[in-house]
């Protein structure tokens, strides 16, 4: 996981939309295929980080509810986007709609990173298990870590 996990996730999604502009600018299938691959790769990279965040930052007893709400909200907006995309394509033209679809998420993503103070949240809630602030390591396990490292070092030296 990247240290700046929220920033990386949002930038993957934001920059991942840029290749969408290609669909409005070309009629070459091979160029569209490359653009679609780049969109898919960037989006899936963000989804991996998002799934990891859900597992690490949501209490286990709430994980099902939070995941369900996340899925519901994501699906709820799909019909809205489809209802807007058709008339927008007709009135503005496909090149303009795809250009907006490629550039607007980048602007929104950068604004979200800054306005939501994601960098501060990443510092306050690091995801690596060795961090002092991490909730992933219980106090008992944390107390044992120096002992485990010493035992491992002693075993390695003995071999």
pLDDT at 25 over 80: yes
Show the tokens assigned to 62: 């709430």
User: What is the distance between the alpha carbons of residues 117 and 49, in angstroms, rounded to a whole number?
Assistant: 18
User: What is the distance between the alpha carbons of residues 109 and 99, in angstroms, rounded to a whole number?
Assistant: 16
Instruction: List the chain domain ranges.
Output: 5-127, 129-159
The DSSP annotation for 26-58 comes to ---HHHHHHHHHHHHHHHHHHHHHHHHHHHHHS
Rounded mean pLDDT, 33-38: 96
The confidence score (pLDDT) of residue 5 equals 85
Non-local CB neighbours of 11 within 8 Å, separated by 6+ positions: 109, 113
| Of residues 2 and 8, more confidently modeled | 8
Q: How far is CA 34 from CA 10, 19, 22, 37, 39, in A?
A: 21, 9, 10, 5, 9
User: Each residue of 102-141: pLDDT tens digit?
Assistant: 999 999 999 988 888 888 888 888 877 554 444 444 444 3
């Amino acid at each position: 996981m990247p240290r700046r996990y929220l920033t990386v996730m949002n930038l993957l999604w934001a920059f991942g939309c840029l290749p969408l502009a290609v669909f409005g600018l070309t009629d070459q299938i091979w160029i569209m295929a490359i653009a679609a691959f780049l969109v898919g790769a960037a989006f899936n990279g963000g989804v991996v980080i998002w799934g990891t965040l859900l597992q690490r930052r949501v209490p286990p007893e709430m994980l099902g509810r939070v995941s369900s709400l996340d899925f519901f909200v994501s699906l709820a907006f799909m019909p809205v986007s489809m209802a807007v995309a058709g008339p927008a394509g007709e009135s503005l033209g496909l090149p303009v709609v795809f250009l907006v679809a490629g550039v607007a998420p980048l602007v929104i993503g950068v604004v979200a990173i800054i306005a939501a103070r994601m960098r501060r949240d990443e510092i306050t809630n690091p995801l690596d298990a060795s961090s002092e602030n991490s909730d992933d390591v219980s106090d008992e396990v944390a107390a044992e870590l120096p002992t485990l490292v010493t035992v491992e070092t002693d075993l390695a030296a003995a071999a």
